[in-house]
Amino acid sequence: MPIGLAIVIALLLGAGLSTQAGINSSLRTALGHPLHATISNFVVGLVLVFATALAIGLRTPSAENFGRSSPWMYLGGVLGAVYVLGSTVLAPRLGAATLMGLIVTGQLVAATIIDHNGWLGFEGHPVTGTRVAGGLLLIVGVVLIRRG
C-alpha cells in the first residue's frame, strides 16, 4: 500500500472515531444507558465483521492457531469495549474536540513508550527530544482546545 493512501486511510479512521463518539452518545440518550449503546455498537460491528468474513470466504482459524496465542493478546477486545463505553460517557461532558484531543494525546504518549521499548511486536524507536516536543505540543493543543 502506498504511504499516501495509508495516511489518508489513517486520517479517515481518526475522523471515524470522532464521529463514533457522537453517534454512540446520541444512541446512549435514545436507549437510556451507556452500556446499551456500547452493546449495540459491538453487536452491529460483530454482524458487519461476520458478514465481511463470509463474503470473502474467510475460514475459521484452527485450534492450533488459537493455541499459539497468549491470553494477553485478547485484551484488544477489552480495550475496545472500554474505549467505546468511556467515549460514550465522556463525549457529552467534554465535547468532541476535547475528548478526541485527550484520546489522541493518550494514544501518542502510550505509543511513544511502546515504540521506545519495542513492545507488542513493534520495532524499537528511541524517545528523542523531537518526539517529546511533539507530545508536549499535543498537550498544549488540548489545553487550548479546552479553553477555546
Spell out the residues 6+ positions from residue 145 whose beta carbon is closer than 8 angstroms to its own.
97, 98, 101
Under 8 Å between Cβ of 107 and 40:
no
Res 67 pLDDT > 90:
no
Confidence category of residue 42, pLDDT binned at 50, 70, 90? very high
Spell out the residues 6+ positions from residue 20 whose beta carbon is closer than 8 angstroms to its own.
41, 84, 87
Q: Tens of pLDDT along 95-119? A: 999 999 999 989 988 999 999 999 9
Give the integer Cα–Cα distance in Å for 148 and 146.
Answer: 6
The three three-digit cell numbers of residue 77, written as one number? 477486545
* DSSP secondary structure, 64-108, as one string: HHHHTS-GGGGHHHHHHHHHHHHHHHHHHHH-HHHHHHHHHHHHH
Res 66 pLDDT > 90:
no
Q: Tens of pLDDT along 2-31? A: 999 998 999 899 899 889 999 999 999 999
The three three-digit cell numbers of residue 148, written as one number? 477555546
Confidence category of residue 126, pLDDT binned at 50, 70, 90? very high
Give the integer Cα–Cα distance in Å for 95 and 73.
Answer: 32
Confidence category of residue 50, pLDDT binned at 50, 70, 90? very high
The three three-digit cell numbers of residue 48, written as one number? 458487519
Res 148 pLDDT > 90:
no
HSE-CB at 93 with a 13 A cutoff on CA atoms is: 5
